[in-house]
Structure 1
Amino acid sequence: MIPALTLAILGAACGMTEDRNAPQDRSAIPAVSKDDRLSAMVPSDVKQDGRILVGQDQTNPPTEFVENGEARGMDVDLGRAVGQKLGVPVEFENAAFDGIIPGVQSGRYEAAMSSFTINAQRLREVDMVSYLSAGISGAVPKGNPDRLTLDTLCGRNVAVQKGTLVVEDLVVRSGKCRAAGLPEINVQQFQNQTDANLALSAKRAHAMLADSPIVDYAIKQTDGTLEHLDKVYNTAPYGLVLPKGKGDYAKAVQGAIQALMDDGTYKRILDKWGVQGAIPMAEVNPG
């Protein structure tokens, strides 16, 4: 099991770009074949440098994290498989979560894959291709000593990652506390998700909220010292982020993900990382 301190260290190597020629652990995921039709749909300015540079916040095990200097996780494996299907190698660059979509908009990144929930605001800024269903979940110390529920967080310290939709949800919940004459939630925002995990494990927070795959994994990796808080809620699809209105690029990526779903590669990747929430169809900018 990986203790919480190790989880915090995993996210520390921000700003690195993965070497596409470095040895990778793909033992459970066989390489997939290039689809010439989909490859032809990728805009020439995207593949002219021989790669697709993907922005990630690599502090979110099991979807994306750093281990021994190497990018790992469900999104990493799926992103590589998409690149193989499109015939363009994928590289990953670690960055702060709240700077990744602006990086796609500015052209720094040609894609982003970092547990981004699809919502109306993001769809106004970028194109997104759905690939997983996830919700918001919470964790508390084993036994839930404070007897917390999602509706009794007023006045409590709740650890979250900065820039995520969970922050927005807690702002709404805190407003309800204020309207009821109760203390507001003390939302402790951390740049890295692993630091939010550590705050809970170190008992500096009463609870931690994050996307359900991240909470599930954190609980499994802390040797039974944490447990789930209440239920999963606000379930919505994750999306692979692309620049808005860039020809057939989004259609090419959607076709690649769908092909991986159809041939079983997608399910093998989710199973490798113990991630729930498989969906049967990838869509461009789903409503």
Structure 2
Amino acid sequence: MKTKIIAIPSVLALSALSITACSNPDEKPAAAGTSSSSQTSSDLSFDTSSIQAVPEIEALVPESVKKAGTLKNGASIDYAPAEFFKSDGKTPTGYDVNMADAIAHVMGLKGATTEHAEFATIIPSLGSKFDVGISGFTITADREKEVNMISFIETGTAFAVAKGNPKHFDPTHVCGTTVGVQNGTFQFDYITQLSKECTDKGEKAVTIMPHDLQTDIAVRVASGQYDATLADSPVIGYTIERSEGSLEQVGDVVESAPQGIIVSKDNEQLTKAIQAAVQYLMDNGYVEKILSTYGSNQGALKTAQINPQV
């Protein structure tokens, strides 16, 4: 994928770098300028209860899903504003969670259930534990070999650092730095690629600090344990907004790419039903409204494609 700079308001941006050498991220930070609770304190949510079933789309839904009455969604619920917990610490919210509910209503179901799962475990759980995965999945050619992907949003990638950039992190020259990134994400692959470019030039690799939860990374960046974090641009923007001034974006938003809903390749019928439901939500303004709730509507797509060429 070619790097493409896109203009996104700073509240929604980060920037991207590179990593190869992985280290143990489990050491606790000495201090924390931000916290998990600061990222999950919002009770933002889009009310999907008024969305009505569409008979022609309802007819596409597999009998097993109709019989269950709900759409089972798997998500790594620590990636605000895409998916995170409300202030009660139990109720999932975020634009991915709202999308799951909206799709379920269009398909004539009672709603969707979104259950937390580590990001890297969602794809293997499709078709057994989960019907779909709506969890910030960047659409890539490799992923399209594993699962069906339906596009609905386009995001970029960005870096965040501690306020004032005390470590003088340069997103255009990341060699030899320490960067926190979430396991299984596009950003993990991207930073690995950039790190390889460093070593190919005879420079130091990026020390990659992989975590299952993005909030764990933010704490370590704010405390100075890591030089930077790399994530989807809406996630970076939301993290900064909730950090109470302890984090800031550095560099441009790069690597603009579509994200999508994943469905097992063994379930073409459900894939077509999901695509039809998402297209209906786009055509009737619901996708943009859902994303607007979290300040991410500039990434809204107009066409829901199954396995788009990337």
Q: Same fold (TM over 0.5)?
A: yes
Q: Does 1:159 align with 2:180?
A: yes
Residue 143 (structure 1) aligns with: 164
Partner of 2:189: 168
Residue in 2 aligned with 1:182? 203
Q: Of 138, 154, 159, which aligns to 1:117?
A: 138
1:205-260 deviation digits (Å, cap 9, x = unpaired): 11100111100111111123222121111111111011114233222111111111
Partner of 1:4: 34
Instruction: Please tell me whether the aligned partners of residues 34 and 244 of structure 2 are also in contact (alpha carbons under 8 angstroms).
Output: no
Please, which moves more after superposition, 130-139 or 25-34?
Answer: 25-34
- The question of 1:201 aligning with 2:222 is answered yes
Shift of 1:46: 2.5
Shift of 1:4: 2.5
Paired residue type of 1:164: T
**Gap regions ≥5 residues in structure 1:** 12-23
Which one of 81, 99, 106 corresponds to residue 62 of structure 1? Answer: 81
Would you say 1:232 and 2:260 are equivalent positions?
A: no
Q: Which runs of 5+ in 2 are unaligned?
A: 1-32
Deviation, 1:179, is 2.2
Report SS of the residue matched to 2:192: helix
Q: Secondary structure at the match of 2:136?
A: coil
The equivalent of 1:14 in structure 2 is: none
Match of 2:119 in 1: 97
SS at match of 1:4: coil
Partner of 2:151: 130
CA distance in 1, matches of 2:80, 2:46: 19
The question of whether the paired residues in 1 share the 8 Å contact of 2:39 and 2:239 is answered with no
Tell me what 1:254 maps to.
Answer: 275
Are the structure 2 counterparts of residues 27 and 152 from structure 1 closer, same or farther at C-alpha, using a change threshold of 3 Å?
closer
Contact kept? 1:29, 1:268, Cα under 8 Å: no
1:44 correspondence with 2:63: yes
**1:66-117 Cα distance to aligned partner (Å, 9 max, x none):** 121100101111110110000122111111000001111x522111100000
8 Å Cα contact 2:62-2:269 kept in structure 1: yes
RMSD: 2.0
Please tell me the residue identity of whatever aligns with 1:4.
Answer: T
C-alpha deviation, 1:180, in angstroms: 2.3
Work out the number of aligned pairs and report it.
272
Q: Distance in 2 between matches of 1:140 and 1:236?
A: 23
1:108 is the counterpart of 2:138: no
For residue 114 of structure 1, give the secondary structure of its aligned residue in structure 2.
strand
Q: Give, in whole Å, the separation in 2 of the partners of 1:121 and 1:136.
A: 19
Select the structure with the greater relative contact order (CA < 8 A; seq sep ≥ 6): 2
1:113 and 1:55 mapped to 2: Cα distance? 7
Q: 1:199 to 1:26 in 2, by over 3 A?
A: closer
Alignment match of 1:264 (pick from 264, 277, 285): 285
> SS where residue 128 of structure 1 aligns?
strand
Q: Does the aligned pair in 2 maintain the 1:137–1:211 contact within 8 Å? A: yes
Q: Say if 1:169 and 1:131 are closer, same or farther in 2 by CA, change over 3 A.
A: same
Structure 1 length-normalised TM:
0.89
> Structure 2: how far apart are the matches of 1:38 and 1:212?
32
Residue 6 of structure 1 aligns with an amino acid whose one-letter code is: S
Aligned residue type for 2:186 = L
Which amino acid is 1:160 matched to? V
In the other structure, the counterpart of 1:32 is: 51
Give the conservation status (yes or no) of the 8 Å contact 1:43–1:247: no
CA change 1:27–1:90 in 2 (3 A) is: closer
Change (3 A) 1:27 1:75: closer
Following TM superposition, by how much is the alpha carbon of 1:9 offset from its aligned partner in structure 2, in angstroms? 8.2
Q: How big is each residue's C-alpha offset from its partner over 1:34-88, in whole Å with a ceiling of 9 and x where there is no partner?
A: 0011011011122222221111100101100112110010111111011000012
TM-score (norm: length of structure 2): 0.82
- Using the alignment, how far apart are the partners of 1:73 and 1:237 within structure 2? 18
